[in-house]
Amino acid sequence: MEDIEKFVHGFSRFQQQYFSDTQSVYDSLRAGQRPATLLIGCCDSRVDPMLLTGSDPGDLFVVRNIANLVPPCTPQAPPGVSSAIEFAVCSLEVARVIVLGHAHCGGIRALMGPRTPVAETDFVGQWMKIAEPVAHQVRHDLGHRGLEEQHKACELASILHSLDNLLSYPWLRRRVEQGLVKLHGWYFDIDSGALLAYSARQQQFLPLVCPLEPRANGGRAACAHPERPAHPDHPG
């Protein structure tokens, strides 16, 4: 019951923040939503997109699933994720899509480890098949490296795999080619607190927000002038 009370008190704070003023955020949102960004993130409880980005209600259209994966556009594609992407792109006409991955992803670790179903239905294992090509490539290229390095490589590569899969949706690819939608791959490093973005130009993840220095040094960003990707969008 303590958790329930925490949630109820949390809603009370939310109510005070967004409904106490004469002109609240929801005055404009009651008529409908118009987010400019679709964010595809992981279900992991440590990686809440609204909290991480400091967003207000109405800022983000969020799709969350195990390991922030995007299925390719096929007749067998899981309709839940695909329909959410379709709605965000075709109906809401978002201007950008962010795939947000993160360190220590349980879905990726399950994918890279021995195949052991967590339940008789094995929905997790079936879902993670989307990223099996990535895992196979990582094992081939980095099989001689430690497991932690392999896991991180798979976490990063799966973001790019999802970006590629996004382009298999014809209505999204058209909008990308017309310059109406930008695709971004982001990675939250839980260990350092940094945010990385994929640079298509340099073909690597570069810091958008650097980790903080120790509190003794004022808690400032560890790299005052990070080499931010000039074009973090994914070219396809």
Lowest mean pLDDT among 43-57, 64-78, 94-108, 212-226: 212-226
In a domain, 124, yes or no: yes
pLDDT, one tens digit per residue, over 111-170 is: 998 877 778 888 999 999 999 999 999 999 998 989 999 999 999 999 999 999 999 999
pLDDT of 174 above 90 = yes
Q: How many domains does the chain have?
A: 1
In a domain, 16, yes or no: no
Q: What percent of the chain has pLDDT over 70?
A: 90
| Exposed / middle / buried, residue 130 (Cβ in 10 Å: 0-12, 13-18, 19+) | buried
Domain extent, residue 132, equals 34-217
Residue 231 has pLDDT above 50, yes or no: no
Residues composing the chain: 236
| Residue 233 DSSP symbol | B
**Is the whole model's pTM more than 0.85, yes or no?**
yes
Q: What are the angstrom distances between the C-alpha of 99 and each of 91, 102, 160?
A: 19, 10, 9
Question: 21 in a domain, yes or no?
Answer: no
Residue 150 forms part of a structural domain: yes
Q: Look at residue 231 and give its three-state secondary structure.
A: coil
Whichever domain contains 159, its CATH number is 3.40.1050.10
19 in any annotated domain: no
Q: Is the dihedral of CA 47, 179, 93, 24 positive or negative?
A: positive
The pLDDT value given to residue 64? 98
State the Cα–Cα distance between residues 52 and 57, nearest whole angstrom.
Answer: 14
Query: Half-sphere exposure of residue 102, counting CA atoms within 13 Å on the CB side?
Result: 26
Contacts of 173 (CB under 8 A, 6+ apart): 167, 236
| Bridge pairing between strands 37-42 and 96-102 | parallel
Let me know if residue 99 belongs to a domain.
Answer: yes
**Residue 144 is assigned to a structural domain of this protein:** yes
